[in-house]
Amino acid sequence: MHKIAVIPGDGIGPEVVNEALATLEQLVENDDSLSVEWEVFDWGSEYYLKHGRMMPEDSLDQLKAFDAILFGAIGDARVPDDVTIWELIMPIRKEFQQYINYRPAKQLDGIQSPLHSKKEIDFVIIRENAEGEYSNMGGHLYKNTHQEVAVQNTVMTREGCEKVGRYAFDFARENNYTSVTSATKSNAIVHTMELWDRSMTNVSHDYSEIAFDSVYIDALAASMVQQPEKFGVVVASNLFGDILSDLGSAVVGGLGVSPSANINPEGSYPSMFEPVHGSAPDIVGKGIANPIAQIWSLALLLDHLGYTKHSNIILSAIESTVRDQVVTPDLGGSYSTKEVGQAIRDRAAAA
């Protein structure tokens, strides 16, 4: 029996997580080979307003007992964004050594890419999720004077670079992608990016059947817009990967359909699966949030736990729902969150 911790969070988080859980419930009812149970945690901004913290003191210990985490979104106007993020998402990512952030950018049949690309877009971004540019090393001098100086250090380790490189190449090999493209800027960032480049090149020698290319991040961003169909696996540092993955999600139809995974590849800790989008305060309570990113995140979670068949059932059901244009307003439709969720479940049940 696998145990899943569910944290719906704030805003549209609970609205879309409800649809994912209803989908999971139906799959479990219809198939004994899917052996999972789940527990829902009410952590987030409401919890913070009541208790003065985003989650209980022993929350990480509680979560350790689970095999995976399904997360919705957080963010609430009544709580500063740095509190919501640094007291809930970041501790989970860091404590559970989820040093891989994985985001597929796969164009679903029926969703028109804003780029009007005629070829199929299907690439994945593997982002380093634990070190790099997002370190809190640094500081200010002479704050609020004309002489003010701010320094923010990038920290890269050979081990960290090689681990994400190896993950990217293994992923390409296992999923039949023929190329790995590394995002770099070693012409201008001469120390850390040089280490990144050397690590990627070293790792690439062990994967001679996979084409390897190292491309400057600026040119890479441009070609992701002009020729998105040519990419397979894109591996990038924390900052570059953050930007590229939002670009990737934009070229295949937007935030409403983009899932992600924060992975601890060793399996020592639970990995966490969540949509790329946030709590969407502008549409909360209207019943029009697109549940696809959340349901797709559930499919990634099930695949991670070894339930590939069930993951594929969900993906096919999502594709068929989109093909039939049963979609929410962000994709040009007029269906509600619940109607889209139900349409996906109907198709999954018929699979």
Interface with Mg ion (CB under 5 A): 242
How far apart, in whole angstroms, are the C-alpha atoms of residue 300 and residue 315? 9
How far apart, in whole angstroms, are the C-alpha atoms of residue 136 and residue 141? 15
Residue where the block lists tokens 């740095």: 82
State which residue, 214 or 258, has the beta carbon closest to Mg ion. 258
- Of 8, 228, 253, 256, the residue at the interface with ligand NAI (CB under 6 A) is 256
Handedness of CA 155, 159, 165, 171 (dihedral sign): negative
Contact status: 298 vs ligand NAI (CB under 6 A): no
Partner whose binding site includes residue 242, from ligand NAI, Mg ion, none (CB under 5 to 8 Å by kind) = Mg ion
Torsion of CA 302, 346, 175, 122, to 10 degrees: -120
Q: Got the DSSP string for 257-285?
A: G-EEEEE-TT-SS-EEEEESS---TTTTT
Partner whose binding site includes residue 88, from Mg ion, ligand NAI, none (CB under 5 to 8 Å by kind) = none
Contact status: 278 vs ligand NAI (CB under 6 A): yes
What is residue 105's three-state secondary structure? strand
Q: What Rg do the C-alpha atoms of the chain give, in angstroms?
A: 20
Show the site string, 131-170: x = touches ligand NAI by CB under 6 A, - = not: ----------------------------------------
Show the site string, 58-87: x = touches ligand NAI by CB under 6 A, - = not: ---------------xxx-----x------
Residue where the block lists tokens 């890479």: 220
Partner whose binding site includes residue 256, from Mg ion, ligand NAI, none (CB under 5 to 8 Å by kind) = ligand NAI
State which residue, 242 or 319, has the beta carbon closest to Mg ion. 242
State which residue, 100 or 302, has the beta carbon closest to Mg ion. 100
Contact status: 280 vs ligand NAI (CB under 6 A): yes
Handedness of CA 276, 278, 283, 286 (dihedral sign): positive
Partner whose binding site includes residue 248, from ligand NAI, Mg ion, none (CB under 5 to 8 Å by kind) = none
Torsion of CA 17, 18, 19, 24, to 10 degrees: 90
The contact set with ligand NAI (CB under 6 A) reads: 12, 16, 73-75, 81, 89, 255-256, 274, 277-283, 289-290, 293, 328, 330
